[in-house]
Structure 1
Amino acid sequence: MTRFLASERPGRPHGLHQRHPLLAAAWPVGGLLISVAMAACNGPAETQAAVATPATAAPQPAPVRREGNLIVVPEGSPLRERLQVAEIALQPLQTRLSAPATIEAEPEKLVRITPPVAGRLVRLHHQLGDAVKAGDALITMDSSEISSVRAEHAKAQAALLHARQEFDRQKLLFDVEIAARKDYEAAQQALAAAGADARAASDHLSQLGAAVQEGSRGSYVVKSPISGRVVEMAGSQGGYWNDVNASVMTVADLRKVWLSASVSERDLAHVDVGQQAHIALAAYPDLQLQGRVQYVGELVDTATRSVKVRVAVDNPEGRLRPGMFARVGFDAPARQAVMVPAAALLQGQVSTRVFVDRGGWRFEPRDVQVGAQQDGQAEILSGLAAGERVVVNGGVLLQ
């Protein structure tokens, strides 16, 4: 076993020249390990502070800077990789004018059945929603006024018959020179007067729409003047109807209806008779219908500055009902317009603007007036000209 002297033990060094050669070689390594351990005890913050100093951090350039009214994107700015610029040009634009409208029945295809006299509603031959044909009986009434008119008509017819017989007798006597001329002329005048009275009584009946019928003299049948459906009912069977200005029922043929549209006077130049119209209904959002302009009004509403335009549209399924709201579109002629992608427009509080490329990564903010939009493109009415270049993507980063 090796034995050490007291002065050579590893735990009590007395100088490097006195140490064992192996211990002398190991001493620098041990010192390095001690230094690393002390650094670990000091923590990561002190270590990083010792490594990363302000002298080694590279400054970042500003994304944009201003030069007067221009926005400049300097070299090295990340915005240079994100902005997209395109040249704008004239493009064909097909616009569709839109106007509010209300559905109406054709006037000659909607009849309000109003009895011309007061009376009892003996029978209602049809109910609400029933289909009727022209000439079908709708209402049977019993009216004292009709009875009086028929009595007058019968009296006038009887008087006419008597006057004709008397005239024939007097003429026969006058021809054989038995009757005096004055008697013949009196019979002739009486016949003319009786004929006038009979015609007046017949006209009165015709005005009431009551034909001479057998049976009850007060019976009166109201017939439908058109084919269609009963769309309104006001009276009840057995009740008394005394308002000659109100309708008992309404019959309408709605297989074709009108749309009454209010077209702004500024759009009137693009609407003509015979033009196709596109119809959208609030009640049926997915239903698209077509119609034709039938009439363009002659007068301008001074309150709304609009003109009434009538559009005829087929309604075979009966979905369109009078009183419904709709919107009617009219295709205007295609025109050349300055168009930009809608993504290029930046909406401010009071205006819409775009960024115009002035070259050298300089951009000018410019207010524009926007017109019609279609297929992701917007019409520019003022503020831009064809051939200019604008930021079409990423413009919001320049604000």
Structure 2
Amino acid sequence: MRSWPYIPDRWAGSLLGLMVLALPIAVVAHTGHDHGAEFQPGTSQPASGIQVDGATAERLGLQVEPVQRRSLSIGIQATAEVVTQPDQTVMVNAPINGTVVELLVQPGDGVQKGQALARVIAPDLIALRVSSQGDRVGAEAELRSAQANLTLARRNYERQVAIAATEITAAQQQVALSQERFEQDQRLVGAGAIARQQLLESESTLAAARSQLTRAESRQPVLEAQAELERSQAALEAAQSHLQLSTATYQTRLQQLNSPATEQGVVTVVAPIAGKVAERPVTLGEAVEEAVTPILSIVNGDRLRVTANVYEKDLGQVAEGQAVRATVASLPDQILTGRVVTVGAVVDSATRVMSVTAELDDASALKPGMFAELEILNDRTPEAVLAIPASALVDAEGRTLVFVQNGEAFEPVEVTVGRRAGDQVEIQSGLFEGDQVVVQGALQLYAQSLRGGGEAAASEETDLVRAGFSVPSWGWGLGGAAIAVTAFYFGRRSRPATAAALNGHIPGPPTDLVLTASRPDAVTTEADHRQS
């Protein structure tokens, strides 16, 4: 048979009185609601009003704005990805076959255009430079020889010109004398003073003088000297060209590398664009192959773009130059603006979407590869609507709440939201124009409410004040006396049942002896209980 302690009637009545006395306190403390329900500690039910003093409001960072009517810009929404411009992502490959001897930057470092990134030693470049130097030595010797030959040819030409001039003058004088003697002999022959044979000799001498003059005027030696001079000039030009080519081969190779090099064959790899080092797959001492081995990649994120897939049904509302808004998860309070720069030309046959790219005005805080919520603006609300910042909304277990300031209290109000436009949300019901709404710190205020409204709400008196209800002291006295009398009466009428209830047992017929700790003489048997 089981046994349980028996509680006397005086203790049962007192305990029951205390329990009943406590009931009005809870009842009174939770009366006087104007609307809604109250935040209970440990629950997420909205409270009717939360008293927040100035210090707490400052600590929570609360900011309040009035509900206003405004015209909202709305558009097509799509999920986009942040990408770089096509010419602002560069993979820098090895410019020449060689070995990496120095790495000057790390991933994440910012670099400027032309900045040194790495150094590679190239044996092929050393061999090319040595060969170029040998060619230059030979070309310089050839050039000096050509210059000497040209000098001699020029002098010979000048001498031949002088000689030819002298010969022409002498031949002209000889012709003049021969002509004069021939004419004189002709007169003498006509007078019979000389023999005709002498005239023939004078004529032969004149012909010889004229022939000499013709040869002198032809200037054959001068022409030959001039030809030699031209050949020497051509040889000099060829030597100069050879000299230039001997160094041009090496310089052209350096230009192809697009990187400076030392005499020891060390090539410095420089940044082709400004940006940040995204990755550096090469390691120190690694052998690299020209135009094949990647050394590092550079991304310029100053002007980023976002690409989104727009459904076929919405393409008629998208055009180049259209304004866009974008948000990213890491910056929920920042609205990025920009414009559509390209609209795709082909719709994907499987997904029925087409790519649209927009360029953002200020994307310095974004990183390539991020996801963004893109809104392509194409319309405005025809009438001004009630709107508040999206930061004012609080999601309380599927219900959308805002906190409205009412005097020194903040009351949670359930609202119905409509369209969104950037950081503004249309309010379809729940608020009126001019209502003072918490736009910053709403989540902190909500969390404070779940804890009972702060440290000041820990006492029952604070709860009564918050509920707008107070009880005078004489009322508590009368109520307590009446409750005590009632408890004493019921305690005497239901002693066994009450004692059993207070001791955690269900009333029923006992099966063994029942003992009480306060009355040793109160020992009854099962039969006594049945008789009573």
Q: TM-score range by the shorter chain?
A: 0.5 to 0.7
Contact 2:322 2:378 in 1 (8 A): no
Change beyond 3 A, Cα 1:266–1:145: farther
User: Whose helix fraction is larger, Structure 1's or Structure 2's?
Assistant: 2
How far off is 1:163 after superposition?
Answer: 4.0
Question: Which residue in 1 is equivalent to 2:343?
Answer: 296
In structure 1, distance between residues paired with 2:131 and 2:262 = 14
Match among 368, 376, 386 for residue 330 of structure 1: 376
Q: Does 1:205 align with 2:254?
A: yes
Contact 1:228 1:252 in 2 (8 A): yes
**Equivalent residue letter for 2:88:** K
Change beyond 3 A, Cα 1:176–1:252: same
Question: Which residue in 2 is equivalent to 1:268?
Answer: 315
User: Whose strand fraction is larger, Structure 1's or Structure 2's?
Assistant: 1
How far off is 1:272 after superposition?
Answer: 2.7
Deviations 1:52-96 (A, max 9, x none): xxxxxxxxxxxxxxxxxxxxxxxxxxxxxxxxxxxxxxxx99642
Question: Which residue in 2 is equivalent to 1:120?
Answer: 99
Contact 1:272 1:296 in 2 (8 A): yes
Deviations 1:156-212 (A, max 9, x none): 444443443333223222211278354543443344344345434322221012435
Gaps of 5+ in 1: 1-91, 338-371, 378-399
In structure 2, distance between residues paired with 1:207 and 1:164 = 28
**Equivalent residue letter for 2:357:** R
In structure 2, distance between residues paired with 1:95 and 1:314 = 19
Contact 1:153 1:201 in 2 (8 A): yes
Question: Which residue in 1 is equivalent to 2:367?
Answer: 321
**Equivalent residue letter for 2:379:** P
Contact 2:261 2:268 in 1 (8 A): no
Higher RCO (CA-CA < 8 Å; seq separation 6+): 2
Q: Does 1:189 align with 2:238?
A: yes
Change beyond 3 A, Cα 1:117–1:184: same
Change beyond 3 A, Cα 1:246–1:287: farther
In structure 2, distance between residues paired with 1:305 and 1:154 = 64
Question: Which residue in 1 is equivalent to 2:154?
Answer: 175
How far off is 1:285 after superposition?
Answer: 4.5
Match among 260, 266, 272 for residue 219 of structure 1: 266
Question: Which residue in 2 is equivalent to 1:24?
Answer: none
Q: CA RMSD in A?
A: 3.2
**2:273 aligned counterpart, secondary structure:** coil
Question: Which residue in 2 is equivalent to 1:142?
Answer: 121
How far off is 1:230 after superposition?
Answer: 1.6
Deviations 1:211-246 (A, max 9, x none): 3534x2x21111122222222111122333336323
Task: Provide TM-score, normalisation by structure 1.
Answer: 0.54
Number of paired residues?
Answer: 249
In structure 2, distance between residues paired with 1:185 and 1:317 = 62
Change beyond 3 A, Cα 1:212–1:118: closer
Match among 287, 308, 316 for residue 240 of structure 1: 287
Alignment of 1:1-399 (within 5 A): 95-177=74-156, 180=228, 181-214=230-263, 216=264, 218-242=265-289, 244-315=291-362, 317-318=364-365, 320-334=366-380, 375=426
Contact 2:336 2:363 in 1 (8 A): no
How far off is 1:111 after superposition?
Answer: 2.3
Based on CA coordinates, which of the two structures has the bigger radius of gyration?
Answer: 2
In structure 2, distance between residues paired with 1:114 and 1:129 = 18
Question: Which residue in 2 is equivalent to 1:359?
Answer: none
Task: Provide TM-score, normalisation by structure 2.
Answer: 0.41
In structure 2, distance between residues paired with 1:290 and 1:94 = 13
Contact 2:104 2:116 in 1 (8 A): yes
**Equivalent residue letter for 1:291:** G
Change beyond 3 A, Cα 1:259–1:211: same
